[in-house]
Amino acid sequence: REAGAVVTEAVLYRLARPAGAGDSAELVAAGDLDAVAFTSSLTVDNFLAAAADRGVEDAARAGLADAVVGVIGPPTAETAAERGVDVDVVPDEAAFEALATAVVDALDETAARHD
């Protein structure tokens, strides 16, 4: 503005938890998921909020402790740790494919130890 530019703020998108979110929290709480992948700090917060909204936060936290928990990168790992969620997997590359591969590899290692 000071240099004569015309500045317009525009909201390109909003990140919001969808209505009815929380199915995965209930599955984790029931012990029905072997792994969880968080792709951002917001997904960690939304997962825990959905678990709380559905009255399964403590059970969901216990389920996460029994599952392989992967996060997309160090900032998400930090958020998870701050929220009391232990992280098992952080891929070297902050990309979904790398996260998915790392989580599957960790599941394979876990299965091999239990065989």
Per domain, the residue ranges of the chain are 23-114
* Separation between Cα atoms, residue 44 and residue 20, nearest integer Å: 16
- Is the pTM of the predicted complex or chain greater than 0.85? no
Q: Classify domain 23-114 at the CATH topology level.
A: Rossmann fold (3.40.50)
Exposure of 2 in the CB half-sphere (CA atoms within 13 A): 0
Query: pLDDT digits over 37-77, tens only?
Result: 999 999 999 999 999 999 999 999 999 999 999 999 999 99
pLDDT at 112 > cutoff 90: no
| pLDDT computed for residue 21 by the predictor | 79
Residue 98 pLDDT class (50, 70, 90 cuts): very high
